[in-house]
Structure formats: C-alpha cells, structure tokens
Amino acid sequence: MMAVNGTAGGGGMSLACAGDIVLASESARFTMAYTQIGLTPDGSSTYYLPRIIGLRRSLELALTNRVLSAREAETIGLVTRVIANDQLIASCSDARCGTG
C-alpha cells in the first residue's frame, strides 16, 4: 500500500504504478514527464502502466505528458481510492503505507 500526496511525476508516477493499493489525496497530480525533457519513459512505467490502464491511454500519457487529477487517475484505474487531503495520512499507518 502506498499514498500519493502532491505531484507524482516521472519516477514518482512509476512508483505509484508499482503499488498494489494506491491511495491519493484529492490534490494529488500524476504525469509521465519523461518525454517533456526528451527522455523515454523509465522506472518500469512502460511495463506497469499499459497493464493497469491499457495501451492507448498509456501511450497518450507518455506522449503528451498530460497531467491527471487524482479523480481522473481513480476513474481510469491508476489509483485505488482518492481521500480528502487532511485524512490521507490517517488512512494508512506508517507500517503499511509509504508516502510520496
């Protein structure tokens, strides 16, 4: 289980893709970011992301660097649940949930 509180871009989004259960604060944002700086996606995102949200959505995110809101990430299946900003940390204990 992991929690995203803030922006998960590049490697941060790749880490979120690797989580079994991903909680996100309402203000969390997700972006691939790699191609914006001329790099190919890394951090195993090219493995996990198509398996989570599908090939076409993955390609769109990788090529456009579009920023997803937490609600949109939940809708497409990237995150398990969106939680109010002030309740995110309380929703998971430190032993079960890394924060980023």
Q: Is the dihedral of CA 12, 48, 78, 93 positive or negative?
A: negative
Specify the number of domains making up the chain.
1
Q: Confirm whether 100 is domain-assigned.
A: no
Q: Confirm whether 34 is domain-assigned.
A: yes
In the prediction, which pLDDT does 95 show?
38
The boundaries of the domain holding residue 60 are 2-89
**Rounded Cα gap, residues 1 and 47, in angstroms:** 19
Assess contact for 32 and 60: CB atoms under 8 A.
no
The reported pTM is 0.86
The pLDDT tens digits of the residues spanning 47-100 come to: 999 999 999 999 999 999 999 999 999 999 999 999 999 888 888 755 356 544
Q: Which residue has the higher pLDDT, 59 or 38?
A: 59
Q: Is the dihedral of CA 100, 84, 67, 22 positive or negative?
A: positive
- Indicate whether 43 pLDDT > 90: no
Q: What is the DSSP letter of 80?
A: S
- Indicate whether 25 pLDDT > 70: yes
Q: What is the CATH number of the domain that holds 29?
A: 3.90.226.10
